[in-house]
A and B are shown apart, each in its own frame.
Chain A
Amino acid sequence: MTTTITPQSAGSGFSQSFKRETRKWRRTSRWYKQAVLWTILFGILAFLFYTLLAPVSWLINMMNEVYAFVSDPSAMALVRTLSRQGNVVPSVQFSSASLVLPLIFAAAYTIIAQALIVVFNSQFFEELNRGTLKWSFSRAITRGAYSISKALADNLGTLIMTVLIPFGVIFIITLAAAKENTITPLNYLATAVLMMLGFVFWHALVMALIFVTRRRALSFGIPVLLLLLGGPLSRMLDGALNTTLISQLSPWTSRNLFTSMLNGTLDFGDSAVIIPILATAVWAILLYLIAWLALRKADI
């Protein structure tokens, strides 16, 4: 019997690999459980915040007074300083939603980023050490195609399961529970995209660390340390060097923009706004390149 192979070109194996990688979250109950868990957790948090904070009118009034103060032309110097430090001040009348949602986003970003670091770390490490990666590379797939498919599929899973679904539900709660809502769906979506950009960076960092060091402790410890202590560390270095550049170039500071992004007051012409966003994207691309370079010539 003659073996006949259909005349398909060697290709890069990207589409096959992408399908397989997306199946890992599409067909895994772990991801659906995560989506449900985040939805319930942050939904409860949002509901509690609205229930507890909305009646506290003095808090909202106080926030508005603070804003009125910093909006005063004589206080603009202070605003600029705060802005340069990454603490972009929202220029809106505070409502219950604009008070609560930034809190939810900030909490969710830190908690979800930690969970993703754990999940991706475990996933990469198992693939590398249990032989599935060996088998993958025995197929007609280039290591570049594998790296891209992995990055796209994992981040697509993160976007749908940990950003769009939970935060979609939270926004519905916001519409229902907040007495005043000045946040538009578009601004809300833009903030979710900004948060997602942060998650892409953490994914890239874990991937690069795993393939460069092959040590689980490092690929877990370094991202968690940077997530929790990166902000203070950048500010400390900025203080020592009398600059603001380190904070702006640090990808973990883009979360400081959530408040302004939610309120639609982000000035993209301001370097304190645009540099952290671009820096996060550039860091992520660089880290994916490092991961690919480490993988390209490595013995698996």
Chain B
Amino acid sequence: MAEYAIETRSLTKQFGKATAFTNVSLQVPTSSITCLLGPSDAGKSTLLHCLLQIARPSSGSGSILGLDIAAQSMEVRQKVGFAPENPTFDVTMTPYTAVHFATSFLYSGDALEEKIARALEMTGFKGQEKKPVRKLERPERARLAVAQAFAANQPVVLLDQPTRDLDPLDRDELMDLVQRFQRENNATVLYASNLVEDAPFADRLAYLIKGRLVMQTAKDEITKGAKDVFDQRRSIETSFKAQIEALKAV
């Protein structure tokens, strides 16, 4: 098994004179959850779109599970589940038909029905399979988008700001779902977010600012780094206090 499920090499995307992101060399380890963190307009969504060829990269290259994202985009899309930012559904859809469409590219017959049932149950739509999507609340729509991405059990899942506009409880619930899916399927999950609160659910963090990837590292390292900083600060404070006490004594 390759070390990295997703890799980009100096990937750049420009829209005319505007640059969405530049020279991004991202590495997402296989069977991990990676949070692509960054403020609005950092280029996160466009990066995910380029991985699936929804938008065409201007330069650079990339691969998913060893498949070239440009030359083998159809094969790539067969192996990747995707939930877009601010998911919208055709008005005619129900949770069942939405998941059916997403899954029907890979499965048919009984296997298809089994996958749909499993995804709908996992995401809390059991008993609501026929409910029109227009009647779903915002958190339910977010869950349905994730159900579409999970249903076919593809080895890689890309989620574009899945927790956008959700309140903290719904957000935690959704991210718990993402963690559960990753554990049960040993999948590689890359999700974009502009909320620091979403970061703790990931194993790794990649930080994108103004189209530049400024950091990618394991969460533990960040935590350790933060602890080092904290310890240093404590040490300085302690030393400073000791010096003040010494001065007082004089």
Interface residues of A (CB under 8 A from B): 1-6, 8, 10-11, 13, 16, 19-20, 23-24, 27-28, 130-132, 134-135, 137-142, 297, 299-300
Contact = CB atoms under 8 A, between A and B. Distances in A.
Interface stretch (B86-94, B196-204, B208-216, B222-230): B86-94
**Secondary structure class of chain A's binding surface, majority of residues:** loop
A188 B16 CA distance: 53
B136 interface: no
Contact of A137 (B52, B90, B102, B105): B52
B186 interface: yes
A156 to B, nearest CB: 15
Contact of A3 (B49, B55, B155): B155
B101 A16 contact: yes
Interface in B106-148: 106-108, 111, 148
Contacts of B77: 138-140
Contact of B78 (A10, A19, A24, A135): A10
Counting from the closest, the 6 A-B pairs by CB-CB distance are A299-B55, A138-B82, A27-B92, A10-B74, A130-B88, A140-B77
Interface of B: 15, 49, 52-56, 74-75, 77-80, 82, 84-92, 97, 101-102, 104-108, 111, 148, 152-155, 184-187
Contacts of B56: 297, 299
B89 A132 contact: yes
B91 A28 contact: yes
27 contacts: A1-B184, A1-B185, A3-B154, A3-B155, A6-B106, A8-B108, A10-B74, A10-B75, A11-B105, A13-B105, A16-B101, A19-B101, A23-B97, A28-B92, A130-B88, A132-B88, A132-B90, A135-B88, A135-B148, A138-B54, A138-B77, A138-B80, A138-B82, A139-B77, A140-B106, A299-B49, A299-B56
Which of A1, A11, A139, A299: most chain B CB closer than 10 A?
A: A139
Given A23-B92, A138-B84, A3 B186 contact: yes
A250 to B, nearest CB: 35
Contacts of A27: 92, 97
A1 B186 contact: yes
Given A132-B88, A135-B148, A299-B49, 9 more contacts: A1-B184, A10-B78, A16-B105, A24-B90, A131-B84, A135-B84, A139-B77, A140-B105, A300-B49
B168 to A, nearest CB: 25
Nearest to B149: A138
Contact of A135 (B74, B75, B82, B92): B82
Contacts of B97: 23, 27
